[in-house]
Amino acid sequence: MQPVERVDCEEDDFDPLKRLAVMASSLILAATIHFTHQNYLTPVWEDSGFKFFAPFEWQYIFAASSIIAVSCAVPTAIRSAADLILVPFYCAVYIPTIVITLAIAPDTSIYLPALTALSFSLLLAFLAARLGGMPNGGVIPARWAIRAVVVTWIAATAILLAQYGGQIRFVGISGTYDQRAVTQGAVGTLIGYAQTYYLWMINPLLLATGLLLSIKHYVLLSLFGFALIYGIDAQKVAIAMPVAIACVYFAIRWMPNIALSTITILLVETAALIICVKIGTSPEGSAIASVFAVRTIGIPAQTFTQYYDYFANYGFTWWSNVRIIGQLAPVTEHAQNADWPVIGRIVGEHYYPSRGVNQNANIFASDGIAAAGTVGILVVGAIFAILIFTINRASRTWALRFAIPALLPLTFALLNASIFTTLLSFGGFAWLLFFTLCGEPRSHTPD
């Protein structure tokens, strides 16, 4: 029988002191986000849509009540693959959305049903994660599966080098869009899928396996792959992803009860926001503040209201932008837009017509609000809960030091893209198949 890997005890979720600590940390973060909204996002980024209007007492009460209610269900630590998705959602999407939405317009009462639906959806997802079961095994990737991944990596690398070999450049932040303009011409389906899966599944899988089994050449292959993707289209996620995967792996290995504690994550986010407010207007700190305070925290909340206002006024999509559903759903006026079915570009063109912005949003805005408003949030919330249940069910017998780091890209995708895009194009279904079919006991393999 294989030893069980545990990050913490499930009973800790019922520890009243830890639960109160999560609740208090959540409210402290909420207050800090409110302070950041008023003192950094609006003064510095008002031209990007970050308005601030002092909330009334009922808005403070609604925000605090919503956060307290959901904080009663959030796990006190990341101890499963599903928790890796849900805890970042709670910290980086849910709390900022509640706080910023209630102060971004003179009258925010129109958003209350949607915010309530968001709270209910997250509670449902937390319940689904618990029903999916806790980790209880040490399964790792089978040797045949690893060999297949290496062969796939070699083939994908060859395809990408053949397609982009003469266009690869390693540029700084200022050259990002110029590099993308060079490489983002019309490419075939094979190239598109090779590039997407190479970034979002193949390299993360190799890196997580190499770290778990101490196989250095797997780590080196994956790092080469991430560098290749960055050289092609300067995606910052190609730099962030390997760093995040390595950090999560070593956190689980060396200090899981501290690094993966929800309280720690909430307090670190709070401290980071305070630093962003302090350094955000300085030449040295503006880039850091724009990445964390604006892109990571502010925009996910801002898109909630932007998508609500736009689609409430111009009509919902009824999920017709999803290729399979679009063949059955009634055609909407949005289909006449040149950017259809890329919802983010349609919204970006509306709010920032001269900037060419792709205003991507998380699943509750892009799949929920855009499709059917408040009802859409509930529908997507149910789909999200099923996905969370399935992920936990499929990965619970796997070694945590593999399952949690390997699935980090899925968390990245769900925080910034449609759930349908994540499942079909970013490897969501492929990961579920991998965890279901490609594991074997760990006893024969070196750690």
At residue 10, the pLDDT reads 52
* Bigger pLDDT: 335 vs 152: 152
pLDDT (0 to 100) of residue 252: 85
Mean pLDDT to the nearest integer, 315-341: 78
pLDDT computed for residue 1 by the predictor: 37
Q: What is the pLDDT of residue 2?
A: 42
Looking at per-residue pLDDT, the higher value among 187 and 254 belongs to 254
Looking at per-residue pLDDT, the higher value among 170 and 152 belongs to 152
Please tell me the least confidently modeled range out of 188-197, 201-210, 312-321.
Answer: 188-197
265-286 pLDDT per residue, tens: 999 999 999 999 998 888 778 8
pLDDT at 171: 65
Over the chain, what HEC string results? CCCCCCCCCHHHHHCHHHHHHHHHHHHHHHHHHHHHHHHHHHHHHHHHCCCCCCCCHHHHHHHHHHHHHHHCCCCCECCCHHHHHHHHHHHHHHHHHHHHHCCCCCCCHHHHHHHHHHHHHHHHHHHHHHHCCCCCCCEEECHHHHHHHHHHHHHHHHHHHHHHCCCCCCCCHHHHHHHHHHHCCCCCHHHHHHHHHHHHHHHHHHHHHHHHHCCHHHHHHHHHHHHHHHHHHCCCHHHHHHHHHHHHHHHHHHCHHHHCEHHHHHHHHHHHHHHHHHHCCCCCCHHHHHHHHHHHHHHHHHHHHHHHHHHHHHCCCCCCCCHHHHCCCCCCHHHHCCCCCCHHHHHHHHHCCCCCCCCCCCHHHHHHHHHHHHHHHHHHHHHHHHHHHHHHHHHCCECHHHHHHHCHHHHHHHHHCCHHHHHHCCCHHHHHHHHHHCEECCCCCCC
> What value does the mean pLDDT take over residues 135-146?
84
Q: State the pLDDT confidence band at 180, using cuts at 50, 70 and 90.
A: low
At residue 4, does pLDDT exceed 60?
A: no
Q: What integer best gives the mean pLDDT of the chain?
A: 86
pLDDT in tens, 36-89: 999 999 998 888 888 999 999 999 999 999 999 999 999 998 888 889 899 999
Q: Work out the average pLDDT over 286-294.
A: 84
Across the range 19-37, mean pLDDT stands at 96
Confidence of residue 221 (pLDDT cuts 50, 70, 90): very high
Which is more confidently placed, 138 or 249?
249
Mean pLDDT of the 279-304 span? 86
pLDDT confidence of residue 63: 95
| Reported pTM | 0.88
What are the structural domain ranges in the chain?
A: 10-137+257-314+368-416+430-439
- The confidence score (pLDDT) of residue 184 equals 67
